[in-house]
Amino acid sequence: MKFFPNASRSLSVFTGLALLAASASAGELTADCDGWSIKGSWPKAALVSADVTLYLKVDGQLIMVDMASDSTLVPEGGGPICIGTSWSLELDGVYCVQSCETVEELGEGGRTLTYKMTFGPFTCEHPDDSQLVPTGYECDDFVNGTAPDVEFTVNPSGNIAPGALFFYSRFAASGDSNIVVTTSTIPDEVADSRLRGSKVFIVQNGLCRNISQQEGVTISLEGNVATIFVAESWVAASDDGRLIVRGEYNTARGAAGDTHVFTTDLNGTQVAYEEITVIPQ
């Protein structure tokens, strides 16, 4: 796919899916998991604009999840049309795209023409992911990729820094979800990081929403284990059908070489694993 200088971020190449283009006199609509484009040409000066709607296909129904717009000016004598942007959210599922393109010819006698095109369906899949981050970095930082990895260091007295951390995990869910978040250490006799809390989020309109206190969600803490239940209705309410869980920990004393392990299980299957090894200060 072409890189668009006016897009909010660069578009990556096609994902290898068998994507079919939708054509109109003013161009060709294509889309992938990163964004959309319309490429074509016009024989005279014109302002070309397009409004594009992205739909998620769920149980045979199309649900609008994103909208985008772009425009370009075709110079006197005609020239190419090349417009497009990236999506404002990460895609995970089956999608269709619909565009409404308007060509406004400039000058006396200029016409205004409208073209409607559809594209899809196409499938986007993202793996489950997880990260250990310093406290102070919120769910949106994790989702947007702006949270740094945490690093464990130990001083000669055996105190580990930082004194606390967050363990984020994000995973696809379906139906009622039973989640277990645990921590352990290698070797076994080393004190575990101490669980002090847990939260669960969904993403709506591209932003994290904390649903920990909502009806249909329960969180219980016992020792270093967080047990979480999320009802199917909250999974369906997420933009991408995924849940995000955060475990909140205070670090323990230890020594260089100790390894702390953090895991998340969904309905009995491990969906996230992170480990961190303590290094000298």
Total structural domains in the chain? 2
Residue, of 50 and 185, whose pLDDT is higher: 50
User: Quick one: 275 and 182 in the same domain?
Assistant: yes
Place of tokens 């005279």: 44
14 is a domain residue:
no
pLDDT at 252 over 90: no
Question: How, if at all, do strands 259-266 and 269-277 pair?
Answer: antiparallel
The β-bridge partners of 264 are 181, 272
Reply yes or no on whether the pLDDT at 9 is more than 50.
Answer: no
171 and 241 Cβ atoms separated by less than 8 Å: no
Across the chain, what does the average pLDDT equal? Answer: 86
C-alpha span between 157 and 198 (Å, rounded): 29
In angstroms, the CA 166 to CA 133 distance is: 5
Reported as a pLDDT band with limits 50, 70 and 90, residue 10 is: very low
Q: Judge whether 4 lies within some domain.
A: no
Task: Categorize the per-residue pLDDT at 128 as very low, low, confident or very high, splitting at 50, 70 and 90.
Answer: low
Instruction: Say if residue 79's pLDDT is above 50.
Output: yes
Whichever domain contains 222, its CATH number is: 2.60.40
Residue 137 and residue 276 in one domain: yes
User: Do 144 and 234 lie in a common domain?
Assistant: yes
Helical (H) or strand (E) element with 263: strand 259-266
pTM comes to: 0.58
Average pLDDT for residues 23-46, to the nearest whole number? Answer: 88
Calpha distance 174→151 (Å, rounded) = 33
Q: Which of 102, 124, 146 is the C-terminal boundary of a domain?
A: 124
Cα 163 to chain centroid distance, Å, stands at 29
d(CA 175, CA 267): 10
89 within a domain of the structure (yes/no): yes
Name the pLDDT band for 19 (thresholds 50, 70, 90). very low
Tell me what pLDDT residue 254 has. Answer: 82
